Chains A and B, each alone.
Chain A
Amino acid sequence: MNETRGPAPMILVIDDEPGIRHFVRTALESSGCMVAEAATAERARIEMASRKPDLLILDLGLPDDDGLNILQALRVWSGTPVLVLSARADEQDKVAALDAGADDYLTKPFGIPELLARVRALLRRAIRPTDGPAIIRFGDIEVDLAERCVTRAGEPVHLTPIEFKLLTHLIAHIGKVVTHRQLLTAVWGPNHVEHHHYLRVYMGGLRRKLEHNPGYPVHILTESGVGYRLVSQAPHTGLSDARTPE
């Protein structure tokens, strides 16, 4: 990718549909990645061992094995980022994959800009996994993690302790989807993983304080049935132009 220096990242695309492998390869190669392909779980295991990819793009519905099994086997020995492709409409499958260690997902059909944005975010994270900068900016929001203070257009914003915890957890995974369960575990602890409505209420509070229009957020995005994603830029180009001024 353009912003990564050094050798081109190696990406292994595991999908049984040749058309999908083909366009994913075209898109990735056009942005400077090297691509290996596997059509079956068996082939994928061989490629994973021999090519040592920097990122896996994994289809959950493979002919010879469930993609989830590959993911679980991989997570035993490797932290290589995994982007899951799912033709399944059932959000439970995506949540299961994310909770099993997948880093992000894309639902078919997906566009190339979406694909590249996800890949870019995951590679950036893999290269610089910990210790991000102490000050994070998105939109007109500035978060100073060391000082634990948040400003919006220069004005201080008061967050409750729980809201701040939620925000820091989202920042730690910026650009990446975080499941309800992961957020609940991180903020409330493992005994509250079923209390989704707590999370939604606090997330609503956070949006009211940080978003211009909480009914049309551009930073704290909802992944329906899955979780939330913090993005520093609006996901669709031209989106902010389409919005009416507040």
Chain B
Amino acid sequence: MNPTMPLSPPRLRDYLLASTGVGAIAAIGAPLLGAFDLANIAMLFPLVVMFNAVRFGRGPAVLSAFLSVALFDFFFVHPHFTFAVSDLQYLLTFSVLLAVALTTAELAARLRHQRDMAAHGEHQAQRLYQTARALSAAASTQQIDEIRRRTLATLMDEADDARPDTLRDTYFTLFATANERVRYLADAERSRVEAEAERLRSAVLATLSHDLRTPLTALAGLAESLPLAGPPLPARQAKIADAIRTEALRTHALARDLLDLARLQSGSITLRRAWLPVEEVVGAALQASAGQLSGHRLDVGLPEDLPMVELDPVLMERVLCNLLDNAARHTPAGGLIALSASATSTELKLVISDSGPGLPPEGRSPSGAGLGLSLVRSILAAHGGTLSADSPADGGARFTVHLPLTPAPTLPEDCS
């Protein structure tokens, strides 16, 4: 039988075939009437009804049941060839025959229904399995959409009341899972590609940094060693050698700031945060900038009760060095550069002010300073902080570093 049409209602042909079956039994039974007892011949009819029930379903079986009683009455019960009944006891025979035939029809039809349901279920499971297999091989949402389109078309074609909603849900779950799998695969692939690009970018920046730093180190060192290489240089030549050295160092600082800015903005620098006292950061920066600051007066004012801060010491040293360097370059020799700090419960402020000309209205950055300050801003942003700049009424420029404060970790008890 066609498994895709298992529950279709019996057609006219089935009724005709079922009736023919009953007629054939009557035809077979008629010549036997002399040899067999009438009760035995009556037994043939439930047989054909059961056969019809299994073969054609409930409707033809019920028809067969009634037809059996009619034919039995017409051909076998006296008076023959009429529906009249001479002996009323045959009414009992008819009733029993009808009851047996109907019950048989019902049981057989139910059996047939269950068989059809089982076959149907197996077919659906088979198709679900095939769809799942097709989906597991699908590598893109387009392929999944195509499979979904085809499957839905078939489902619609077969739409009938017997299809449970759970089946449809199962299909939808299947498609959703497949889509999710494809999306995860795409995500994994994308992050792999991004990580690779990031690795490449870091490697390029690191190499560039090394390749720039090395010749500039040589250049600055060679200029510095010029007075040592022979008889003492005349003052003017020594001055030129020193200028070459200074420029090489300045170029180096620019290249370093530029590359660090690129690394920060591409996200390839991870902060190495550590808890440390504010004065340690300030001290390290003052020590590193001592050369640039040597021509200026310096005023460092740090209160004793500053809290610990959690930051990247190396990067924060760069922040302060760049600000100090900026102040030194804009303050005439002998001018005052002041560094002070203050803290509230949530914010640390580091103020670097100078006695130079102050900020021009549009912000001063004749050369180089713009880059250094951009780096400062980027490093502070990575720490969740900001930089503000203004020109106080009493002259000079003032840069303020704002850093968020978080509660410090616990410390050993005997800390003095």
- Chain A residues near B218 (CB, 8 Å)? 17-20, 22-23
Is B296 located at the chain interface by the 8 A CB criterion?
yes
Whether A217 contacts B287 by the Cβ 8 Å rule is yes
CA distance A238 to B256 in the complex (A): 27
User: A110-122 toward B: CB 8 Å interface, digit per residue (1/0)?
Assistant: 1110000000000
Whether A23 contacts B224 by the Cβ 8 Å rule is yes
Whether A203 contacts B299 by the Cβ 8 Å rule is no
CA distance A108 to B209 in the complex (A): 11
Main secondary structure of the interface of B (DSSP, over half): helix
CA distance A243 to B308 in the complex (A): 25
- Chain A residues near B317 (CB, 8 Å)? 224
Whether A17 contacts B215 by the Cβ 8 Å rule is yes
Shortest Cβ gap from A24 to chain B (Å): 7
Binds B, one of A33-41, A44-52, A69-77, A208-216: A208-216
CA distance A217 to B290 in the complex (A): 11
Q: Which size bracket describes the interface of A in this complex?
A: 35 or more
- Chain A residues near B414 (CB, 8 Å)? 160, 162
CA distance A6 to B161 in the complex (A): 109
- Chain B residues near A138 (CB, 8 Å)? none
- Chain A residues near B313 (CB, 8 Å)? 222, 224-225
Please judge, given known A-B contacts A22-B222, A87-B217, A110-B217, whether A196 and B275 are in contact too, CB under 8 Å. Answer: yes
Size of B's binding interface in residues, CB under 8 A: 60
Is B225 located at the chain interface by the 8 A CB criterion?
yes
- Chain A residues near B249 (CB, 8 Å)? 109
CA distance A162 to B317 in the complex (A): 27
B222 partner, pick from A23, A61, A198, A216, beta carbons under 8 A: A23
Whether A207 contacts B290 by the Cβ 8 Å rule is no
Whether B411 contacts A203 by the Cβ 8 Å rule is no
CA distance A87 to B293 in the complex (A): 24
Other CB < 8 Å A-B pairs besides A26-B225, A221-B284, 19 of them?
A17-B217, A23-B221, A26-B229, A89-B260, A109-B213, A109-B217, A110-B221, A201-B308, A203-B280, A207-B279, A208-B304, A216-B283, A221-B287, A222-B280, A222-B283, A224-B313, A225-B313, A239-B290, A242-B298
Chain B interfacial positions (CB closer than 8 Å to A): 209-210, 213-222, 224-225, 228-229, 248-249, 252, 256, 260, 272, 274-277, 279-284, 286-288, 290-291, 293-302, 304, 308, 313-314, 317, 339, 408-409, 411-412, 414-416
Chain A interfacial positions (CB closer than 8 Å to B): 17-20, 22-24, 26-27, 30, 61, 87-89, 91, 108-112, 160, 162-163, 196-198, 200-205, 207-208, 213-217, 221-225, 235-236, 238-239, 241-244
